[in-house]
Amino acid sequence: MKNNIFFVFTLLVFLISCKDKGQKSTKSLLKINDVTFFSFATKAKMHYKDNSQNVRCTGNIRMQKDSIIWISATYLGFEVGRIKLTTDSVYILNKMKGEYIVRDFKQFGKQMNVSIDFTSIQAIFLGNQALKQQGNEKLLKGKEFHLLTKEIASFILDYKVNTQNLKIEEFIINEKESNNKTTVNYGDFKEIDGKLIPTSTEIDVEYTDTTQTEPYKGNVSFNYSKSSFSNSTLNYPFHVSSRYTKK
């Protein structure tokens, strides 16, 4: 794992959860209250910690549906970096080191040893489904929560859905052939411009990298404030000074 807080965002699609016992299994589409939007903006308090780091910062997050995710991170009142994700590329500007990175998702995922795509990250920021249901999922119905399980390639995805508001409260993927896993928990749901979203997100990550002597364990949390949705196109500035070094 790179010694850089911004690389934590590449871990947002590695997840897993425990199944409830003694429930009836069916094959059916489950209605989930996903958020539809054009543009979204929020301020956020972010906390990242792993085996060797413990960093708190604030930031601004902006998104345009199926197009751009933009993040500006601030520490002690100074902007320390920016991230811009498009449907096919990753841009990272590290102002502390005077460096920037441009990769397509395939290159970036290979470099970071994770599976990563724009759609999944966009969904996680708003608590939506990362992958749409196909009708071949396993559905376990409960009184307080439903558990929807989907297998795809070498992963098992579990969604824990609240039966009252039909919002995802936990989203998890387990890699079948390893102990790699991440758990995403959503909480503090609030209605913003008529849309119910989680304003608190916590992500726990565990994975084994053959180049490291011990498993990576990381946690990142987001707490939103001053969130808003709009039908207007927002600004997503990403200027790179000629003084910066491309990595």
Q: Rounded mean pLDDT of the chain?
A: 83
Percent over 70 (pLDDT), the chain: 83
Please name the residues in contact with 97: beta carbons below 8 A apart, sequence gap of 6 or more.
none
**Cβ proximity of 219 and 49 under 8 Å:** yes
pLDDT tens digits, residue range 175-215? 888 878 889 999 999 999 999 999 999 999 887 766 667 78
pLDDT tens digits, residue range 147-182? 999 888 788 889 999 999 999 999 888 888 887 888
Task: Give the global pTM.
Answer: 0.81
18, pLDDT greater than 50: no
